Chain A
Amino acid sequence: MDIQKTYENYLDIFQKVSPNFKKTDSDKIYQTRIKAYENFKKAGIPDHTHEDYKYAGIAEICDKEYEFTTDSRSALVDLNSFFRCEVEDMDTHVILLSNGEYYEQNEKLTDIDENIIICGLKEAKTKHAEIVNKYYNQHVGSSKDGFVNLNTMLSNDGLFIYIPKNAKLNKAIQLVNLTHGFGNKNIFKRNLIILEENTELNMVICDHTLNTSNNFVIDVTESFVGKNANFKYHALQNEPNKSGVINSHFIRLDEHANASTLALSLHGGIIRNNFFVQLAGRFSEANLYGLNLTDREQRVDNFSIIDHIVPDCTSNELFKGIIDEKGKGAFAGRIIVRPDAQRTLAYQSNKNLCLTPEAKMRTKPQLEIYADDVKCSHGATVGQLDETALFYLMQRGINKKEARLMLMFAFANDVLLKINIEPLRKRISGLINSRLRGEFSNCSHCLLNCNG
């Protein structure tokens, strides 16, 4: 299918499934769908003519036929029995999302604070309607992005986390997104994460695909980080070559809040990560980190908009990419400092290694500044491994291949050092090491081969 047909197809799908949504959704949520439908109808699918999606390779994704499903649980065997995705020495609550839906057989989280809610978003929409209605689409609603609106229009389930004021969650949350089943799956996930005042949440997100089909995943995560709250989000993307993933994370920070995200794109067909961050409370801080290891004919496109709305906030961005073989990388980062957002500190850096003549990298580090008492910087580099450093290592008896790996690992390490959960850093460091060596980065306890 071409882009136009895909677009029309989605409009048709919505017409078909919207009566069901009308039955199950609350009025408010149904209205957001209608609004998103209108927006999507207007915006269309952003292709290469759209400035923000110029290098995302959307036409390639839309080239295939996908099967849109609203219910896929029936075909599933018990995943808990053979699926292991644990991080050594890190105690986590593991939650599975199967084709975007909250897995029914997820272990009941019995040992957590009773006020904390962790469940599927679909379930939360009925059981915790008041909270969902208060937060759902509050930040996402302002987006004109075609894919974001497509998600709002068609998504139905995902993860819901609510941590009320002063509540403590005992462990990190590990969210495992599983894509499986026959045929090309088109999956829409919607996660809603709410951290109220004085709370903390560490998350690790692992994406895994069990089938060998072409899948198209369109995700939206909406996070609200309350006063003094601390949010850490680590996404490990490990997808097969044929997959297309468009991931959008909306984060809004309140006073003195702190949010850090890491997007580690280890493997994938076409990956697009969008970050929309609003620093809406004074003295809040947002850190965005990203690392992509791109080879074969893969594409990774990181896109971010950091919006400094109020004074005294800080943002840091560090995105690094190693592009090998015929890989294509793209980065676009925009920092907006609104009028009166004085004393803003905003730093952005994008560094890339292109290892072959076919590798391509495109970067757009952008600043939009409307206040004068600010310190903003952005930097971007595209280059190769330092010849003198390579020579230095070889002089000391390290063979060229090993020396190159060492330098590449050192390059990636800058991003790794930003992870301050020790066991997780070790785990990720191991994954990167084996990935750079061209080995499949399998988790040691897992019986599955996720990215064959």
Chain B
Amino acid sequence: MEKEQDKVLKEVTESEYKYGFTTDVEADEIPVGLNEDTVRLISAKKNEPSWMLDFRLKAFRKWQTMKMPEWAHLNIPEIKYQDIIYYSAPKHKVVIDSLDEVDPEIKATFDKLGIPLDEQKRLSGVAVDAVMDSVSIKTTFQETLAEKGIIFCSFSEAVKEHPDLVKKYMGSVVPYGDNFFAALNSAVFSDGSFCYLPKNVRCPMELSTYFRINAINTGQFERTLIIAEEGSYVSYMEGCTAPQRDENQLHAAIVEIVTMKNAEVKYSTVQNWYPGNKEGKGGIFNFVTKRGICKGDNSKISWAQVETGSAITWKYPSTILIGDNSSAEFYSVAVTNNYQQADTGTKMIHLGKNTKSIIVSKGISAGKSQNSYRGLVKVSKNAVNARNFSQCDSLLLGDKCGAHTFPYIDVENDTAIVEHEATTSKISEDQIFYCNQRGIATEDAIGLIVNGYAKEVINKLPMEFAVEAQKLLQISLEGSVG
């Protein structure tokens, strides 16, 4: 089973090379800056219908009236929105000639992760034939999936091929004016993924997308829309790795999920954008709005995420539980090292009867990083018998880092049972001593203990993701213990 899954994953990742690009290489980048013309230009380049342009323009006008949110426990350097290129099709730029010129530390990381040589080259920005950027590539399984009636394609393709579905659901979970970054994304999003599961179809394989940032100074604005009709099921994986870049890059994505009666969507993420170097220079700014709606009765959405990358992470995968007996899960491991900052968590909004949610969040901070959990559990007036359990644990490695917890609990119903618990601690010397005694070096011991600590969440990930995640945890924390 594992081998087969490995093969599947390999095929998916390799397929990115096979297919190349469909867009015109000449028209690859638009001028720096953002105004209404930029939005029109993006829309025109993608040959979008007028309703799509209207959506973008509405979002853009709303965005202009909005201010960057300041409530997060983050120290965000000023982002110059006018200095960003908002659209870039994959025209390759040669940055380095061979892998030998790549930072040896980065290379060592690749080796440890077991990334194939070709991919290593591509990740490091070495000249190879095909480089993928904002424009999605066709996916291998499209035909197999088509047999079952499953639509899995790039967002732009969906706009052309399935306009009714896109029109109906786009913005229904995350409205264009939802927040500052969502509005920005809605105005300038380049591409993304679209997934539709018809009634009573169980997706036979795990769907996966690898989003990558490659071009210099390109904001990455992805948009994902997953619709699960009655009785359907899909496990969807999203993973990110990014090559080393000195300038900060902005990433503002939107993920929307809709589940109908008895449907289930499992959304797993491994996020490993470039976190900046040891001095806190560079790294990705990751501002993501992820939200799902359990529309039908007995539907379910579960989020599992391992966050090890990005200089700044601002991300709150949320679920709105509308259908009666619907349920949601959120499992998260967030690791910050060096000067990374993370403010992440979830929102569980209970509207339907007998709705249930579980939150398990594990934060690990090392170096001089700041790691915050921020979550909301809201039980509305009509959510009879709602039930929530939240657990937020923080592990501190080192005495210069910070671990913070900001849970919000709003209960407007007397039948609700909401529990929250959190602990903050460091790895005890006893535990390390125990390992040392048995011949395990301190660094390995910490890896062992951290993996044990994160096990509860990692177990929720699909197999191949779990393996990668475990390695990532160890790598992210390397050098954090002196």
- A376 adjacent to chain B (CB < 8 Å): yes
**Pair B404/A369 contact, Cβ less than 8 Å:** yes
- B311 adjacent to chain A (CB < 8 Å): no
In the docked arrangement, what's the CA distance between A367 and B345, Å?
Answer: 14
In the docked arrangement, what's the CA distance between A339 and B368, Å?
Answer: 11
Residues of A within 8 A of B410 (CB): 360-362
**Pair B411/A373 contact, Cβ less than 8 Å:** no
Residues of B within 8 A of A356 (CB): 414
- A377 adjacent to chain B (CB < 8 Å): yes
- A155 adjacent to chain B (CB < 8 Å): no
- A11 adjacent to chain B (CB < 8 Å): no
Residues of B within 8 A of A358 (CB): 381
- B51 adjacent to chain A (CB < 8 Å): no
Residues of A within 8 A of B420 (CB): 363, 365, 378-381
- B394 adjacent to chain A (CB < 8 Å): yes
* Known contacts A367-B403, A367-B404, A369-B404, A382 near B418 by CB under 8 Å: yes
* Complex partner residue of B402 from A340, A354, A369, A373, CB under 8 angstroms: A369
**Pair A364/B425 contact, Cβ less than 8 Å:** no
Q: Which A residues from 361 to 394 make CB contacts under 8 A with B?
A: 361-384
Chain B proximity of A334: nearest CB distance (Å): 8
**Pair A363/B400 contact, Cβ less than 8 Å:** no
- A359 adjacent to chain B (CB < 8 Å): yes
In the docked arrangement, what's the CA distance between A360 and B402, Å?
Answer: 32
Residues of A within 8 A of B424 (CB): 367, 369, 374-377
Residues of B within 8 A of A372 (CB): 396-399, 401, 426
**Pair A364/B417 contact, Cβ less than 8 Å:** no
Which of B394, B396, B405 has the most chain A CB atoms closer than 10 A to its own CB?
A: B405
Chain A proximity of B373: nearest CB distance (Å): 9
In the docked arrangement, what's the CA distance between A377 and B421, Å?
Answer: 8
**Pair A364/B426 contact, Cβ less than 8 Å:** no
Q: Which A residues from 207 to 254 make CB contacts under 8 A with B?
A: none
- A51 adjacent to chain B (CB < 8 Å): yes
Which of A368, A372, A373 has the most chain B CB atoms closer than 10 A to its own CB?
A: A372
Q: Which A residues from 402 to 427 make CB contacts under 8 A with B?
A: none
- B419 adjacent to chain A (CB < 8 Å): yes
**Pair A365/B413 contact, Cβ less than 8 Å:** no
**Pair B399/A339 contact, Cβ less than 8 Å:** yes
**Pair A364/B413 contact, Cβ less than 8 Å:** no
**Pair B396/A379 contact, Cβ less than 8 Å:** no
Chain B proximity of A358: nearest CB distance (Å): 8
| Interface size of A in residues (CB-CB distance below 8 Å) | 36
**Pair A379/B422 contact, Cβ less than 8 Å:** yes
**Pair B400/A339 contact, Cβ less than 8 Å:** yes
Residues of A within 8 A of B421 (CB): 377-379
Residues of A within 8 A of B419 (CB): 379-381, 383
Inter-chain CB contacts under 8 Å: number: 114
Residue of B nearest to A372 (CB): B396
- B416 adjacent to chain A (CB < 8 Å): yes
- A260 adjacent to chain B (CB < 8 Å): no
- B408 adjacent to chain A (CB < 8 Å): yes
Chain A proximity of B322: nearest CB distance (Å): 19
Residue of A nearest to B403 (CB): A369
**Pair B417/A369 contact, Cβ less than 8 Å:** no
In the docked arrangement, what's the CA distance between A247 and B421, Å?
Answer: 28
Q: Which B residues from 152 to 195 make CB contacts under 8 A with A?
A: none
**Pair A378/B422 contact, Cβ less than 8 Å:** yes
In the docked arrangement, what's the CA distance between A340 and B423, Å?
Answer: 19
- B415 adjacent to chain A (CB < 8 Å): yes
In the docked arrangement, what's the CA distance between A270 and B397, Å?
Answer: 43
* Known contacts A355-B414, A367-B404, A380 near B399 by CB under 8 Å: no
In the docked arrangement, what's the CA distance between A358 and B415, Å?
Answer: 11
**Pair A382/B411 contact, Cβ less than 8 Å:** yes
**Pair A354/B416 contact, Cβ less than 8 Å:** yes
In the docked arrangement, what's the CA distance between A148 and B394, Å?
Answer: 33
Prevailing SS type, chain B contact patch: strand
**Pair B414/A362 contact, Cβ less than 8 Å:** no
**Pair B407/A373 contact, Cβ less than 8 Å:** no
In the docked arrangement, what's the CA distance between A377 and B403, Å?
Answer: 12
Residue of B nearest to A359 (CB): B414
Residues of A within 8 A of B423 (CB): 376-377
**Pair B414/A380 contact, Cβ less than 8 Å:** no
Residues of A within 8 A of B394 (CB): 367, 369
Residues of A within 8 A of B413 (CB): 354, 357
* Complex partner residue of A367 from B379, B416, B417, B422, CB under 8 angstroms: B422
* Complex partner residue of A354 from B403, B407, B414, B422, CB under 8 angstroms: B414
Residues of A within 8 A of B418 (CB): 380-383
In the docked arrangement, what's the CA distance between A113 and B229, Å?
Answer: 80
In the docked arrangement, what's the CA distance between A360 and B421, Å?
Answer: 20
* Known contacts A372-B398, A373-B426, A375-B425, A362 near B403 by CB under 8 Å: no
In the docked arrangement, what's the CA distance between A380 and B405, Å?
Answer: 12
Residues of B within 8 A of A184 (CB): none
Residues of B within 8 A of A380 (CB): 407, 409, 418-420
Residue of A nearest to B379 (CB): A382
Residue of B nearest to A364 (CB): B408
In the docked arrangement, what's the CA distance between A344 and B73, Å?
Answer: 22
In the docked arrangement, what's the CA distance between A340 and B225, Å?
Answer: 46
**Pair A368/B404 contact, Cβ less than 8 Å:** yes
Residues of B within 8 A of A370 (CB): 400-402
Chain A proximity of B270: nearest CB distance (Å): 26
Residues of B within 8 A of A375 (CB): 424-425
- B406 adjacent to chain A (CB < 8 Å): yes
- B412 adjacent to chain A (CB < 8 Å): yes
Residues of A within 8 A of B401 (CB): 370, 372
**Pair A357/B426 contact, Cβ less than 8 Å:** no
**Pair B396/A378 contact, Cβ less than 8 Å:** no
**Pair B405/A354 contact, Cβ less than 8 Å:** no
* Complex partner residue of B407 from A360, A366, A376, CB under 8 angstroms: A366
- A342 adjacent to chain B (CB < 8 Å): yes
Chain B proximity of A158: nearest CB distance (Å): 34
Residue of B nearest to A379 (CB): B421
**Pair B408/A362 contact, Cβ less than 8 Å:** yes
Residue of A nearest to B378 (CB): A362
Q: Which A residues from 162 to 205 make CB contacts under 8 A with B?
A: none
**Pair B407/A382 contact, Cβ less than 8 Å:** no
Which of B411, B420, B423 has the most chain A CB atoms closer than 10 A to its own CB?
A: B411
Residues of B within 8 A of A383 (CB): 416-419
* Known contacts A377-B422, A381-B418, A384-B417, A365 near B396 by CB under 8 Å: no
Q: Which B residues from 360 to 410 make CB contacts under 8 A with A?
A: 379, 381, 394, 396-410
* Known contacts A354-B414, A377-B424, A369 near B396 by CB under 8 Å: yes
In the docked arrangement, what's the CA distance between A331 and B205, Å?
Answer: 46
Residues of A within 8 A of B396 (CB): 369, 371-372, 374
**Pair B408/A357 contact, Cβ less than 8 Å:** no
Chain A proximity of B434: nearest CB distance (Å): 19
In the docked arrangement, what's the CA distance between A51 and B69, Å?
Answer: 13
Told that A357-B415, A378-B422, A380-B409 touch, could you supply 18 new A-B pairs with CB distance under 8 A? A340-B399, A354-B411, A354-B413, A356-B414, A357-B413, A360-B412, A363-B408, A364-B406, A366-B404, A367-B403, A370-B401, A374-B396, A375-B424, A381-B419, A382-B409, A382-B418, A383-B418, A383-B419
Give 29 CB contacts A-B under 8 Å. A340-B399, A354-B414, A356-B414, A357-B381, A357-B414, A359-B414, A360-B411, A363-B409, A365-B405, A365-B420, A366-B404, A366-B407, A367-B404, A368-B73, A369-B394, A369-B404, A369-B424, A370-B400, A371-B399, A372-B396, A373-B426, A374-B424, A375-B425, A376-B424, A377-B423, A378-B422, A380-B407, A380-B420, A384-B417
Residues of chain A touching chain B, judged by Cβ–Cβ distance below 8 Å, are: 51, 339-340, 342, 352, 354-384
The 9 closest A-B pairs by CB, nearest first: A372-B396, A382-B411, A354-B414, A367-B405, A370-B402, A372-B399, A372-B426, A363-B409, A376-B424
